Structure 1
Amino acid sequence: MHTPPSGKIMRKVMDRLRIVKTWIFPATILLLLSVPRPVRAQEAELKKKWDRLIKNDRTAGRKAAYARWSGVNKRIYGHNLDQPMVPASCLKILSTGVVLRHMGASYKFTSSLLGEIKGDALTTPLYWRGNGDPSMTLDNLTALVRQLKAKGVRKIPKGVVIDDTYFDRQKPAGFQFSRGNEGFLALPTPTTVEGNAITVTLEIKDAEVAITCLPASPYHTCSSEVTVGTKEDVRFTTDTRGDVLQIKAKGTITAADPKVVNRVRSFDSSRYAHGILLQVLKENGITVDETFARGATPAKVPVIVSHSSDTLAALVRATNRHSNNFYAENLLKALGAQITGQPGTTQKGLDAVYAFLTRAGVKRNQVVLANGSGLFGNSKISARALASAMEQYATLPWLQALMIDSLPRPGRDGTLYKRFTGTAAEDVVYAKTGTLGDASCLAGYISKGNRTILFAIMQDGIGGDLKGARTLQDELVVSLAKFFKGQKP
């Protein structure tokens, strides 16, 4: 039989109800009001915003856009996801990521001078052997020569041999048709120095225009017909006939901007390396036969001195932040040599990238790879495929962290230095730019703490309208950053 509660118990119940009504219920309402709008509503609003921006964009050509949460199978937005498009330098996110995954963050390249020493001379040629270090500088090479001299070497009567056998001599796709002389077109080689390019400086001195070319070498010369004028208009031409590269500058520079610096690529990288090493040896008081030679180092010839590069993680950072094509192509050939043995080739490196994409679930009809840098527009990849590769990095947390860190940051350095400053994206965006005359791309991450969104925005057939393409990219990414922060997109 049910017994009614006593009056004392009823009073306690009523007191508790009054507490709930007076304090807890209002506090709960305030708490609910302070929580951001539901994520689904924010996502719906973001999708509408991106749809509207893409629909109303006046830039010519095709567009693709993809955004998703990293680490979970949750897409935020997708438009034209499976259409292969020209990624330009966004391709470096893919090629450098695969290089890091296979070779490891702590890997270092080695450049060595080899030979047999007897007294103050070498009884063999001096061999310079490298395995593709793209960061080797004139200072690094000079340090090696000084170490060689410290071991008593003063004479090299049998000359210098450039051992370029670690890579093949095949040019990456697109490079074989290029007649340009710009420094960013320098070809990948195992023995490198200063990015295989010559820095040409024009400067007004005593009302005349002086020209200097560094590094110095017997295999290239520089001359100038540049005068002081009312506007800057300088052209550099190269004559590659014969063994000596002739660089000529013509045009005008102004007193208001009295210094012009340009980089011109070497056209025979092994001869270029040979000439610079000859120059450094002579500058350090070592006599040497100057006959050019290249070939493999005999197995029994010992290493005299060596230089190690910075870590691969640091080299990938330099590649992506400054969109360094030379670094990207060298790293890809080095990857090929690491996986399948010498010689390293572009195709061997690309085969490793294709294998990685297959593991990431990418269909082969969504990607065509031609080189490691994205130059010339020969490569194509869909936004879904590029994003899938970026998501695959998340299966190795160290790899995703290094890839995010390798990308340019707004207002800091690299190719995003002047973009997104003063916007919601400034402190959370890490992204790789890609630019060709007819294509533009922005791909990367919005990340803070343990939350990450990855995105890829691709446009090709833009007819040179880079300003319009970047305006759309910036609007899309800023709205995505606002969504990430719980703000109205």
Structure 2
Amino acid sequence: MTMTQAWLGLLLGGLCAQAGAWDLHGLKPEEVAVWAAPVEGDGPVIAHRADAAMNPASTMKLLTGWAALNRLGPDYRWKTSLLSDAPVEGDALKGDLYWLGGGDPRFDNGDLLSLLHSLRLRGIRRLEGRLLLDKRAFADIGGADDFDEDAGRAFVVGPDAHLVNLKVAWLTFYRDGQGARAALDPPLSGVALQSDLKPGADAPCPDVRRFVAIESDGSRVSVSGSLPAACDGQRAYVNVLDHDAFAGQDFAAMWQALGGEGPLRVERGRAPDGARELAAWQSQPLPAALADINKYSNNTMARTLFLTLGREAAGEGSPRAAAGALRDMLSQRGIADLSALQLENGSGLSRRERVTARLLGEVLLDAARGPYASEFIASLPIAATDGTLKKRFADLGPRLRMKTGTLNDVKALAGYWQAEDGRRLAIVAIVNGPQAKTSAKALDALVSDLVRDYRGGAMRSSAKP
């Protein structure tokens, strides 16, 4: 594509603005949507196909996070509780224990141990009844349709009121005087580990998965390969069991590690109104979860946050309630035309979700100008530093913070550039089409051009729709 063709393509798509032609770096004009505007200015300076409905992939997480910050506040915390209406006699709880899941997206084994330690501090050691999972926090977890071929992979793990450790167990690999072996952490009673590891030749071990094969059918994990000595102590995660089985078996393993006995079995059940709280755990504030969601593009956590938004805003933890809450907030803020917006689970792990570059850009402007700007911007990956941008934009460095998005036929970037004088540019660039798979370098070059022109003062005029 010549410079003239690129310029004409942008004009036809609705680009108005700066002097000079624009280079799409080989991207097809009809497959790209671009929007950019100064945070401290008026109107966009770039708007190419800004009102086209685009699949945003994981940049959709920005809408969910923005809505959650504004609706829940930065000090929002998830609560996980253990309840019972049974008496305590000696060191025994003489009845059922209810685990009221709060849908904490970051709840891990350390948090579970702290919760159970609080129960042990009450003097309870034996659980003589059932452990009942109270799942009232979420009425409907929704789905992510058309990802059947990815079943079993960690990135498609669904949300759950009793999400623990993102429903993954860790394999720790050892190569010492006892040879080559692996251990499952936590030691789940319903998961069998088969190991066929052999000592391998000396070699560096930047990633143990280069040397071992890991297979799992949910209840059986097999590891095989030749393990170099340098892999001693390295870890890899594996997705096992369903949510209820994982939570119940993890609970039992942690309880036994604290010297506890029981429970008899694990089932679902709703705690009676008169049940008393025996132990509770509160999460870190919302920004901690938001940083994990955006920096590492965690779909499970984003979907959990989306459901939490629905529960707190509309009294129902469901995608329908969450979508309504998000739409209401966009309308209240006067943000863009919502006719193209389609929501499935709020994470971008979706073939259905759609957003316009303009809407996403206006959310970025609102976030940067709002009371929670620092929390929102701090959650984004920092170029050449961390998260999904750790190995990208080395020439621009930490002044660039952007959320990435990747699916089949989708590549996206959305975030901010901050100039040396403190001025900020909000940028959205989305590619939809067969070319997306190989478009990462072109998309990075496109964003770099926007930053270069902004730094050089070329962006002064305002694009009109």
TM-score range, shorter chain: 0.7 to 0.9
Q: Report what 1:191 is aligned to.
A: 162
- Give, in whole Å, the separation in 1 of the partners of 2:227 and 2:140: 38
| 1:210, distance to aligned residue in structure 2 (A) | 1.4
- Residues 137-286 of structure 1 aligned to structure 2 (within 5 Å): 137-174=108-145, 177=148, 179-205=150-176, 208-227=179-198, 232=210, 234-240=212-218, 245-250=219-224, 261-286=235-260
Q: Is the 8 A contact 1:203 1:209 kept in 2?
A: yes
From 455, 459, 462, the counterpart of 1:485: 455
Counterpart AA for 1:453: L
Would the aligned equivalents of 2:217 and 2:240 in 1 still touch at CA under 8 Å? Answer: no
**TM-score, L = length of structure 2:** 0.84
What is the RMSD of the two structures over their aligned residues, measured on CA atoms?
A: 2.9
| Within-5 A mapping of 1:42-441 | 48=20, 51=22, 53-54=23-24, 56-58=25-27, 62-115=31-84, 116=86, 117-174=88-145, 177=148, 179-205=150-176, 208-227=179-198, 232=210, 234-240=212-218, 245-250=219-224, 261-342=235-316, 344-359=317-332, 360-394=334-368, 397-421=370-394, 423=395, 425-441=396-412
Q: Which residue of 2 aligns with 1:460?
A: 432
Secondary structure at 2:339's aligned position in 1?
Answer: helix
Q: Which amino acid aligns with 2:118?
A: Q
| Counterpart residue type for residue 483 of structure 1 | D
* Shift in Å, 1:169: 4.9
1:131 aligns to what SS in structure 2? coil
Query: Is the 1:163–1:296 contact (alpha carbons within 8 Å) kept by the matching residues of 2?
Result: yes
1:446 to 406, 417, 433: 417
SS of residue in 2 equivalent to 1:273: helix
> Aligned with 2:266: secondary structure?
coil
SS for the counterpart of 1:380 is coil
Pairwise CA distance, 1:119 = 2.6
Aligned residue type for 1:485: R
Report the secondary structure of 1:85's partner residue.
Answer: coil
**What is the CA–CA distance in structure 2 between the aligned matches of 1:221 and 1:215, rounded to whole Å?**
12
Indicate conservation of the 8 Å contact 1:201/1:212, yes or no.
Answer: yes
Letter in 1 for 2:76: Y
Q: CA deviation at 1:107?
A: 0.6
Instruction: Give aligned pairs, total.
Output: 434
- The structural deviation recorded for 1:246 is 1.8
Q: Deviations over 1:271-302 (max 9, x none)?
A: 21111111111122211133121121111111
Q: Secondary structure at the match of 1:74?
A: coil
Please state how far the C-alpha of 1:352 moved relative to its aligned partner.
Answer: 1.6
1:443 and 1:83 map into 2 onto residues whose CA distance is 16
Q: Deviations over 1:198-237 (max 9, x none)?
A: 1234444459541222222213222234556789465433
Residue identity opposite 2:311 in structure 1: A
| 1:180/1:249 CA distance change after superposition, 3 Å | farther
The alpha-carbon distance between structure 1 residues 178 and 189, as it changes in their structure 2 partners (threshold 3 A), is farther
The TM-score with structure 1 as length reference comes to 0.81
CA distance in 2: counterparts of 1:288 and 1:126, whole angstroms: 11
Task: Provide the C-alpha distance between the structure 1 equivalents of 2:291 and 2:330, rounded to a whole number of angstroms.
Answer: 22
In the aligned structure 2, how far is the partner of 1:181 from the partner of 1:251?
Answer: 21
Q: Please tell me the residue identity of whatever aligns with 2:386.
A: D
Name 1:12's counterpart in structure 2. Answer: none
Q: Find the residue that maps to 2:397 and give its secondary structure.
A: coil
User: Any conservation in 1 of the 2:169–2:184 contact (CA below 8 Å)?
Assistant: yes
Aligned identity (percent) is 25
What SS does the corresponding residue of 1:162 show, helix, strand or coil?
A: strand
Q: CA contact under 8 A between 1:185 and 1:265: conserved in structure 2?
A: no
For residues 393 and 232 of structure 1, do their structure 2 counterparts lie closer, same or farther at Cα, with a shift above 3 Å needed?
A: closer
Q: What secondary structure sits across from 1:381 in the alignment?
A: coil
CA contact (8 A) 1:437 1:463 kept: no
Deviation, structure 1 residue 68: 0.9
Where in structure 1 are there 5+ consecutive unaligned residues?
1-42
3-state secondary structure, aligned to 1:210: strand
* Pair 1:125–1:207, CA change in 2 (3 A): closer
Deviation at 1:250, TM superposition (A): 4.6
Q: Which amino acid aligns with 2:259?
A: G
Counterpart contact for 1:184–1:265, Cα < 8 Å: no
Question: In the alignment, is the contact (CA less than 8 A) between 2:81 and 2:280 conserved in 1?
Answer: yes
SS at match of 1:75: coil
CA distance in 2, matches of 1:293, 1:147: 22
> Which 5+ residue runs of structure 2 have no aligned equivalent?
1-14, 202-208, 460-465
Change (3 A) 1:165 1:385: same
- Give CA-to-partner distance per residue, 1:438-465, whole Å, 9 cap, x none: 2111100123565321110001224563
Q: As a proportion of its length, which structure holds more helix?
A: 1
SS at 1:365's partner residue?
coil
